[in-house]
Every structure is written in structure tokens, then in C-alpha cells.
């Protein structure tokens, strides 16, 4: 009787050790997959959030019958704010500095809402329209030489592209079409090196 009982305890211990090892292996396999999926979802949410803020600026321009611009802080592109033209000459840095063009709401910081996602190019990608190569770490604001993305009271906008990403993971882009002021959110598919509408 004693030997049989001891054998049962031994078999149970082997089962526990085997089960624990199997669970550790499955956990090690699943953690990177879960982290990658979470990073992808966060990047997509960030792109949609910024696109929604841009759409808000466009609606403000139509509602106020005045130019409205989103200013990306040159010292910290993680921060942006919406300004309305106060003197009819468009939103200008000099007018912002003199409080002629006034802030609408409060400045936003991507990190306050979206963790590690920033305006950035985290990998070499082709430009969505021309296919020209954009290097990782280069300027993520492709809206001309200004740090202002403007919307007119007629619905048009500054043409360009904003690039967002975490340090790794999917590269996102927001394309702004100047004549209509409309936007498209794109995701770069690294496998086939193509931009896809998200």
C-alpha cells in the first residue's frame, strides 16, 4: 500500500512539473504575439485620434468662417494645438506669439493619450504617392516648411502627410488632400512594402 501511494505522489509531481514547463513555453510564445498586437492597435488608435483632431480643426474653420491651423511644436512634435486666425491673414507664428491668432481649446500631447506613439518615421518607407524613399528618423511632418497644417473656411487644407509610430511596430500615416481637406489613414505593410488604407 505504501509503495503504491508513494508512486502516485511521484507521478503527480512529474505531472505538475510537466504542466508548469508547458505553461511556461506557451506563455513565452504568446507574450511577443500579444505585445505586437497591442502595439499595432495602439498605433492605429493614435492615427485615428490625430485624424479626428485634424477633422475637428477643419470643422472649426467651416463653423467660424476663418482659417484654423493645427500647429505642431517644432521643439516637441509630440505636442500640437489648434489656433484660429484673428486678423484675416491666416494663422502665422508671429500672430500666435502676439495672441492675435488664438488658441482653441488646450494643447494636446500624444503621450498623454497614446503612450509610446509619436510623430515619427520608425523605419525606411516609400512616400505614399511618389514612392520616394523616406529614411527612418527623418522629419515626420511632410506639410511643407511650416509647422502649421491649415484649414480654410472653404474646406481646403494644406496638403501633406503626417507619419506616426511607436519605436517599433507598424508605421502609420495620415494623408491630407489640400483641395478637399479630406484625410486618409494609412498603415505600412512591411511584408509587401505597400501602404494600405486602415
Q: Does 67 or 17 have the greater pLDDT score?
A: 67
> Any idea which of 49-53, 111-115, 121-125, 135-139 has the lowest mean pLDDT?
111-115
Of the pLDDT bands very low, low, confident and very high (cuts 50, 70, 90), residue 164 is: very high
Residue 93 CA to chain centroid, in angstroms?
25
Q: What is the pLDDT of residue 9?
A: 58
Residue 104 CA to chain centroid, in angstroms?
22
Q: Name the residue ranges covered by the structural domains of the chain.
A: 2-197
Strands 79-84 and 160-165: unpaired
Q: What is the pLDDT of residue 1?
A: 47
Instruction: Examine the pLDDT at 107 and tell me if it is beyond 80.
Output: yes
Fold held by 2-197: minor pseudopilin epsh fold (3.55.40)
Q: What is the pLDDT of residue 33?
A: 57
Instruction: Examine the pLDDT at 34 and tell me if it is beyond 90.
Output: no
192 vs 185: CA distance, rounded Å: 18
Instruction: Examine the pLDDT at 178 and tell me if it is beyond 70.
Output: yes
Amino acid at each position: 500500500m505504501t509503495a503504491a501511494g508513494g508512486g502516485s505522489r511521484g507521478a503527480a509531481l512529474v505531472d505538475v512539473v510537466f504542466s508548469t514547463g508547458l505553461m511556461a513555453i506557451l506563455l513565452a510564445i504568446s507574450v511577443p504575439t500579444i505585445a505586437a498586437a497591442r502595439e499595432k492597435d495602439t498605433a492605429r488608435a493614435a492615427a485615428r485620434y490625430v485624424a479626428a483632431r485634424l477633422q475637428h480643426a477643419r470643422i472649426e474653420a467651416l463653423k467660424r468662417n476663418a482659417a484654423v491651423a493645427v500647429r505642431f511644436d517644432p521643439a516637441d512634435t509630440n505636442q500640437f494645438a489648434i489656433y484660429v486666425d484673428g486678423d484675416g491673414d491666416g494663422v502665422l507664428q508671429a500672430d500666435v506669439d502676439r495672441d492675435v491668432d488664438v488658441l482653441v481649446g488646450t494643447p494636446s500631447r500624444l503621450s498623454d493619450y497614446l503612450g509610446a506613439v509619436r510623430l515619427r518615421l520608425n523605419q525606411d518607407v516609400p512616400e505614399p504617392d511618389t514612392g520616394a524613399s523616406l529614411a527612418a528618423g527623418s522629419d515626420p511632418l511632410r506639410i511643407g516648411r511650416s509647422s502649421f497644417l491649415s484649414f480654410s473656411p472653404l474646406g481646403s487644407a494644406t496638403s501633406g502627410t503626417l507619419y506616426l509610430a511607436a519605436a517599433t511596430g507598424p508605421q502609420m500615416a495620415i494623408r491630407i488632400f489640400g483641395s478637399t481637406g479630406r484625410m486618409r489613414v494609412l498603415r505600412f505593410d512591411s511584408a509587401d512594402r505597400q501602404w494600405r488604407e486602415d
